[in-house]
Structure 1
């Protein structure tokens, strides 16, 4: 992959359900100050992005924060980080797939006056039986991934341009109905509301590190990986702030709150016409599909790296000789994601994704400090500025946002981590590359 492909790969993995769907769930927590919640989440992501950039340029291999933790903090910490990444990627794809179904339903309603039956459009707990659209988008992404990495990257570039264009179209239309009065009071829930919303919308930034999962499929990884990570975060942050500001300025935030297809609702109410929301919904269907595609790709490469280190079974590292992709790995991941997407509600999926990601990001920031101390002479194509303040603040911000998530999310995270440690003790520790070397 080239620098452009890597950058758009990370943008493709990031721009999706977070802004198209989570905005409606975060607005009740902060009111119009949800704009600042996106900024808070961006600052948290920036500290981690700088650390990712340094490690990606220093250790340019597949596996993202799992591989970085393995090289800096040892096997056990790497296992926990990798286990959290499994939660992050698999659950985030499931959440994105749920959001895809919501916008597909909105598009069909606007264009053909057809609505997918409630039983087939949502999981149990949300008035449905199984989310069939979510299963469909996972199957489509799987079929494209099995064709090869270059084909997936090319398709993603096209879809990224489409979704950025659609979001800019939304901003133009929404700003035409902008009313400064809708921003008053700006922060009705105060700083506590902004931080709580920041923890929720952090889900929107998950994916900027996707380029780091493609370290072994990059043409010039030492130069391109750091640049791709930082460029993608900058692009995504600008788009998010513009979209959030135009949305809360176009209509009272109370009406935006709780809407699933929140951006489509803004366009319908502000223009009084259906075609703008139909255009947006069509763009969202394409946009969210690209997130499913790129994040599933990242998940398979992380599992590939873990399998290569012996921590999970060898089936995850087997590569198809014809397509040069981990085919069995991809099919197993697709089955697991489809199960979650079809049966679990979006809100719970998003929160579980955020906490796993924040923990993995904290590990990456700590890894920068450790590697600077243990191997100061190592070749680094990018150095985190203001070291050691930047990675330390990265850890602090990640832990702060983790503390703002609810107790149910923490219980899910702790249970997942405990289960992961049992898997490591029962399989990974005995089969790992380090254990084989000791024997």
Structure 2
């Protein structure tokens, strides 16, 4: 009779990389490999560009002033360092699950489950936050086209944040457009990943064209006086804004969740991650710079559908604002689509490992998509979008993203020393300096987040810990006899 595992053995048991790769090929459990390099790069761009640019300026310019440009650069450098780490691990472990799967192979089941909890928080909350912003641009578009405003009761949450507390007292009863958007994305994902990818690629092209239009028009009204004072709240404001802005780089993680559905993953995953990052940083800086130069910094606070309003003020005409708002509506649809996709694939990988209920890895035999998984996620995310305010959700997303990015950087270092001769499609340069810098940058941004985020994240971690020890650890595929079987496949 096999001796039961100790507490530490459960937490530290790892899943062999060879078995992770073998598992993606098992009959009846696999996802369809149908994504091209262009489609996957579009996934990364689609999940990233738009979140920060379309919504965050109105939240973070009051915090950092025009120095929010530096906040974008700090967040971008941190994301860039981590992107290189993602590129190396994704070239070694082309599996669904992103940093959860990477942690399972490097740091053990306990850390992997914690990362998964962070990813669930990251993806679910960010999808809700983005959907909330979508309703602002939808309202702006409807008003510019018809002259009608949607009623306030259906545009905002009934809950507001006050320091460390959440309480009722918001302007509305429900954010109905946000909830509807989540379910529209759910229906598209259930049709199939290749259909979703093609739709997303089209929406990404539309998004980039619209943002180029904004840059061109806003540049004509650029006034350097609008950039002074450049940093009214000092470096503390810059740091706080950088921590909040970091969630806008979630698309990098979303790319790696597609490890089982991309053609030639060892080559295309690293290329897609790095390509998406380069495009994102260029557009972020250009849009933020021209927006700040075209409008006084005091006007950003509380401004809804801000980029559309800036264009309308510059041109004195409604048509540029209509185009921008329409582009934002399309853009944010693509962001929500990709983020929901990432959420379902994290749960798919966890369920296959026994750490989440089996329903999450059931695949529709016709579309080869996890439809029940997708519907459950949509129900939860739409509820969050309908009733929780966006400002709390931004920071919660950053917390989850930063923890996941930190673990990925640690994972690169662990595998370099544990498996120095393993095949890698890409290797992080200047090792170990770059992974160490990535870890330090992530921890620095985590320290800048608000108190209410720490409170909610701590509660979530406790709930996740209780679930792990009461259910997940006992049902893990690494438990008892299953572990020997897994290692035999990994050898």
Instruction: State the partner residue of 2:345.
Output: 301
Contact 1:256 1:265 in 2 (8 A): no
Deviations 1:14-39 (A, max 9, x none): 12232101111000111111111110
- Segments of structure 1 that go 5 or more residues without pairing to the other structure are none
How far 1:322 moved relative to its partner?
A: 1.1
Contact kept? 1:17, 1:288, Cα under 8 Å? yes
Preserved contact between residue 23 and residue 201 of structure 1 (Cα < 8 Å): no
Q: Name 2:182's counterpart in structure 1.
A: 138
Q: Equivalents in 2 of 1:39, 1:104: separation in Å?
A: 29
Paired position in structure 1 for 2:5: none
Which residue in the other structure is 1:415 paired with?
A: 459
Deviations along 1:81-116, one digit per CA (max 9) or x if unpaired, are: 011000000000000110111100010011111111
Larger-Rg structure: 2
**What CA distance in whole angstroms lies between the structure 2 residues aligned with 1:204 and 1:313?**
30
Give CA-to-partner distance per residue, 1:362-408, whole Å, 9 cap, x none.
01111001111111111011001111011111111111001001111
In the aligned structure 2, how far is the partner of 1:289 from the partner of 1:162? 12
Alignment size in residue pairs: 439
1:43 aligns with 2:66: no
List per-residue Cα deviations over 1:146-180 (Å, max 9, x = no partner): 10010000000000000011111111111010011
Matched, 1:188 2:232: yes
**RMSD in angstroms over aligned alpha carbons?**
1.0
Q: Deviation at 1:415?
A: 1.0
Q: Which structure 2 residues correspond to residues 8-19 of structure 1 after superposition, within 5 A?
A: 8-19=42-53
Q: How does 1:227-246 map to 2 (within 5 A)?
A: 227-246=271-290
**Distance in 1 (alpha carbons) for counterparts of 2:235 and 2:96:** 39
Matching of residue 74 in structure 1 with residue 116 in structure 2: no
The reply to whether residue 2 of structure 1 matches residue 36 of structure 2 is yes
Q: SS at 1:433's partner residue?
A: coil
Q: Which has the higher helix share?
A: 1
Q: Is the 8 A contact 1:41 1:201 kept in 2?
A: yes
Counterpart check, 1:382 vs 2:426: yes
User: CA–CA distance in 2 between the matches of 1:438 and 1:163?
Assistant: 47
Q: What's 1:361 paired with?
A: 405
Distance 1:110 1:79 in 2: 47
Q: In the TM superposition, what are the counterparts of 1:5-404 in structure 2 within 5 Å?
A: 5-125=39-159, 126-404=170-448
Q: 1:56–1:226: 8 Å Cα contact kept in structure 2?
A: yes
Query: Over residues 27-69 of structure 1, what are the superposed CA-to-partner deviations in whole Å (9 max), with x where a residue is unaligned?
Result: 0111111111110100011111111000000111111000000
Aligned equivalents of 2:109 and 2:279: distance in 1?
A: 34
1:260-290 deviation digits (Å, cap 9, x = unpaired): 2111121122222222111100000000000
> 1:299 & 1:124 partners in 2: Cα distance?
26
In 2, the alpha carbon distance for the partners of 1:234 and 1:363 equals: 22
- Cα deviation for residue 438 of structure 1 reads 5.2
Report SS of the residue matched to 2:420: coil
Runs of 4+ in 1 over 2 A off after TM superposition: 436-439
**Stretch deviating more after TM superposition (271-280 or 140-149):** 271-280
TM-score w.r.t. length of structure 2: 0.88
Q: Secondary structure at the match of 1:435?
A: coil
CA distance in 2, matches of 1:17, 1:219: 27
